[in-house]
Chains A and B, each alone.
Chain A
Amino acid sequence: MELLQPSSVDDLDGGLFLHGGTEVVPLVRDGILSGERLVDVRGLVPRGVHDGTIGAGTTLAELEVEPAIPDALREACRLAASPQLRNMGSLGGNLLQSTRCWYWRLKYPCRLHGGDRCFAREGEHREHAIFANDFCASAHPSDVAAALLALNARVHTTQRELALFELYRVPDEGDRDVVRLQPGELILELEVPTPDASVYLKAMDRKKWSFPQVGVAAARFGGETRIALAGVAPIPWLLDSPAALDAATPLPRTEWKTPLARALVQRALAALQ
């Protein structure tokens, strides 16, 4: 293993980006990511909040107590993970985290790994998706991504600027990637608009330190309300309206997530009034 610690973005030349390491280190150990060359980008990625822009290197712990960010984002950070993981994990890293799907994590040759089956669809899928789950039934675990999606955040990378919803894509036969980043492209900052009101509600299996069974982020900008869900699709899921839940396509053992999502969406909207 080679560990590089570049001091300038210009020095970047391939390798696997490492910041807090809470995902990368275990995934390299498991052989899911190739750890031949790790690039410590902590010196390159901005950290801190100013004027509606958040450095991607800001930790969730820092954001959890940050007054100058929308409630939904602060709450999503507060409810995410464990205190230690919040101390270590960066905003940028959190957006890029992989599914907790046990088949994926145990390296089954599933579709996300380039194979031709979704083992969850055929097997044990009780923690999996209720949307966009035809090809891959994995659920996206990021609370923060759902919050930022509802907030209509924009992502600034070393190469371009894009809306957060453009960062994610549902995997398909031709392309198994859930994230649309070019090789070597590094997320630097998030631009987060200030809503009139925002909220994040999370259903989890124990009171803390648990991935979202269903997470609902909602943000109101004037007359427009945006709703985004965690834990219900392979990517953070934008909901056009509560009625869009009627179009959910749960699997036999994820049916329970739909009424749960409905209840939380209703509560989230009520909280925005």
Chain B
Amino acid sequence: MVSVLIVDDDQLIHKVLERLLVAAGFRISGHAFDGAEAVEKFVQMNPKPDIILMDQRMPMMSGATATRQIQHLDPSSRILFLSADETVREEAMAAGALDFLTKPIRSAILFEMINKYASSANRSDS
């Protein structure tokens, strides 16, 4: 079962994404509400999540900074950006995100992208 860490400062986004993802057979391995908490949670998590869904605009630390730090700690971490702000696409990709998804996103596309990057990781891990 593909595990997902959701990073977003909006409580309701966590709620709806969790319900959608769980209903589609994914496992939510954790929640973080800003970039700094995401880095902290990632360090503590064992096993690591298969996919991290990362927002950009959050208090304390942005998604791009958190992505850089997590990638520095673990280059095999798989981070998908999910943001309303398309202007940060390049910054997110440069920080080490695998892909950039624009909010609002339909669930089918979200599931497809999570499965795509989780399965590509499984292939390269094996």
A binds B: no
| A interface residues, Cβ below 8 angstroms from B | none
| B interface residues, Cβ below 8 angstroms from A | none
